[in-house]
Amino acid sequence: MRFVPRGILPAMITPMTKEGSVNIPALRKLIDYMIDGGVHGIFAMGTTAEFYAVTPKEYQEVLEATVDQVAGRVPVYAGANAIGTRQSIDLVHIAEKVGGIDAISVLTPYFISLTQDEVYNHFASIANSTDMNIILYDNAPKTHITIKPNTVAKLADISNIVGMKDSTGDLTNTADIINKTTRAGKDFHMMMGRDSLIYGALSYGATGAVAATANVAPKLVSSIYNKYQEGDLEGALEAQYKLLPLRIAFGLGSFPTVIKEALELLGIEAGPCAMPTGIMTTEEKVQLKNILIEMEILK
């Protein structure tokens, strides 16, 4: 049986010092906060983690600290994202060297334009370079490259490609992929990548979500999944609506500065984002604080 990505996985931020280096002690505390909040896995070095702003050495340090701090309590996932196929493979090999990582998520390339054959070959080459479990990652709103459902269905036949994170924000796309993979009898599993659509994705057959908001509100986000699995659909839907203001609040600042500021408001050290991403204005911070208070996350 292949590995099954499931549950709520926080797309973990990378805490940084004022000088812009990775803050490992803060990372460890954040991991404990999220696991204590009931998340079902830890996802390091994804988009929310500002993967584009760390060096290969820092990338390895974050993975090593994550695996060590999680200490087997939940599965560990890691991103291996780059424009070039060879560079993504290099990151996969770093993850292999670290060990203790259950699955690797690979984002589509970005900046360049690709045909679907080229998209397929990118992911197939990465999968063939390793025995690690691979999760496809489509974030077309940011990369402007998508993995079309027919391409996903073809990639799902590769033995170690076990699932996909869909951050397109298009629930029709999510459903189409599930229909052409899981419902077609393939051992393949969809993870929702848009926090506002977790309930909808679960209804279509997704096995969970990778959620940036779970950094801040792990108990609330996890409750969407837990209640749904328990058959409490009304409770799951209510939790999804309760989470919505926090996801919408991402628009108050440049991503992922809102998440880091929210953690700081909760007394959890996160630090600044890497330049060129700046800080929120005083007015934006006040708006965010009020949202957290209204959601009963901040007292």
- Known catalytic residues? 137, 165
Would you call 133 helix, strand, or coil by DSSP? strand
Give me the helices (H) in 110-230, please: 116-128, 140-143, 149-155, 171-180, 198-204, 218-229
Give me the residue label for tokens 């309760």.
Answer: 242
Residue 21 DSSP label: -
Tell me how far apart the alpha carbons of residues 209 and 228 are, in angstroms, rounded to a whole number.
13
β-pair partners for 103? 77, 133
Would you call 105 helix, strand, or coil by DSSP? strand
Sign of CA dihedral 174, 179, 180, 182: positive
First vs last C-alpha separation in the chain: 45
Give me the residue label for tokens 């700081």.
Answer: 264
Phi, psi (5° rounding) for residue 165? -105, 120
Would you call 38 helix, strand, or coil by DSSP? coil
Non-local (6+) Cβ contacts of 259 within 8 A are 13, 48, 212, 213, 215, 216, 250, 270
Q: Are 78 and 84 in contact (CB under 8 A)?
A: no
Would you call the peptide bond into 256 cis, given omega within 30 degrees of 0 as the criterion?
Answer: yes
The reply to whether 182 sits in an annotated binding site is no
The reply to whether 210 sits in an annotated binding site is yes
Which among 4, 22, 123 is positioned nearest to 64, based on CA atoms?
Answer: 22
**Bind-site residues:** 48, 210
Per the annotation, binding residues for pyruvate are 48, 210
